[in-house]
Structure 1
């Protein structure tokens, strides 16, 4: 069995094997799995496009996850992944693993102890399901960018080291900035509003940081936020219409580019209605109590109410999505635009804020923002915030800011719900939660 490199053959990816039946190919990848059956050896090679079964004899197989090169002839085989296998003529070890992986990569399941998989994330992230989730998220983010560009948006980049919080100063990670107090940004909200005065329509894809002491399957302390802000709107209805179009474009791309990943994970890509159902928060609370007997306390929907409301719209309208609108002022940040009464006055209790629920969980928070300087300063006072700490933000509203609004989508949370992943930490390559700073 030769170990010489097959320099005369171009590298073939595993997904391309059906196009090379009867031909010799050169594969490069990782030794995903191996078996030895009475002198006949089976190995599964994994590359960026998938896996391929290879069979040979007299092979000196390295440890799993070693980087290898296989040269051999492609043959149809109904039980092999993709319907084809490679009959090995030569095997070359490119880089040998020096010890076995701490977990068997082909046998990993998300329903085992999540800490085990996360402790060894540098290796477990190589798993087929693990990387499938990240591939879906990459396509989701690409679709987010592409669609917004077609609608005249400009991508921006905002500071992640800030002097004050965007939502009143709560849940901030403090840092020492050359002897001065500073914080990791919990949202690009204030900056993206300022940039509406430059480009009218802007978006950003960037991490945000929340110092919330959650230890749940749906929260991260660092996550990828997909932020959108648009100017010259009539109301929050324009913002919800935009998000509907955006989600439809995202799902279309996922069907085109990530069908294999959804199949691997047994997940379905939802249809986005031409108009996602909309219900006010007050009506939503009454609905879940009247139909399901679930009383909701507090100023927002609790997780069970979100689940029941989503169940209602899935059953009655066939929609996996529902907008919950007209949030009370107490449940929204200081920059949320108040609802406007029929007589033209501002409602003291309600805002033009909304959430989007998807399959029982909130994936978006958004709404129309205050654009009038006097109204904004009144709101800051009502929220008992320090106007001096927000001066860099409020200044721009002296100079003709248009009516505007936007939203933010948590990429990991949307990915997890799309794929049926029970713990959002598996939808990020290297998650950060209350207890995890490594790897």
Structure 2
């Protein structure tokens, strides 16, 4: 009898685990295919919009239910979390992948091209990508082998947010500085005349803004698969930022959320960060705020890495892959793209949203803070993506170096040179 009861209990446990696995694998009680959508949008940068879009999709879909999962530490944090879940066989269906991890993602994770899913299951959408996106925009989501890994979803560039009230108080041009040299001078005057900090340079868990600073001065982060940021131009650019933090003491060296909040609170006059912070800043700043184009280096052209991300399909089976495309098609509708832009500030990647009556036409006319990002798109370049297995480690080495340089524990030249050598050793392994 004891052995019989043990057998019954074992069978019951197995049935229970199978049922739980079935639910986790993607079926709701009412028969919908359940999938996860992994994103990096915090509450202050599109999180509420993600929540609303997912709720709206779920309400109108009879076949798919989406669960959104926020990943902190931006795209690097998402890649680390995905690494662990994929190893355990629990990959989500749709994932935001930052441009700097394009090659790392395609080299290290299983995915299926959206066009493949479309051709296999949605013949009515066969030309969706070609019809809705410009070729150069679609190319942003191709890896070094020319494969279409995903679809561009978030497009941004760094802009300079300015507190015009502080600039006027300091006797400066209320339209803000136009060059990095002027940013440094403006910051000195602001500190002297108002006692407030002049500048904040964004410090999230990536090197996006740093790439803009260095490459606009003529440096190159990566050349022919090798790290090359420790050039004369790269060192010169980084030294300007380090001098503002360490010598002039006119720039803040703090975390991203703190830095943006310091600007919103009015304790720092200028903030260099993504246009995707536009909604947060515009809604909360209690002063005359504006967003102007990214500063240039005197006599040089601006080069701005395309910020944001693509959406990729990592669903492990056809059922979830079909559900993934149904959700993505909803996110890429004119109406959803318009809501995404309104809720974040990202420039829409789809080519017909800005001019559509049910899109952003009126909104862009009424929101001048978007103008700078739209007008400087001709200066956008690919976000540097270190290839192979070394991508995450290379990114982290540069982040650690940023803290060392701006913390005053290492010089710019020594730091950039040594880390460039370490990264190239990783890339050669």
Does the alignment reach a TM-score above 0.5? no
Which structure has more relative contact order (CA 8 Å, sep 6+)? It is 2
Which is higher, the Rg of structure 1 or of structure 2? 1
Normalized per residue, which structure has more helix? 2
Normalized per residue, which structure has more strand? 1
* TM-score normalised over the length of structure 2: 0.22
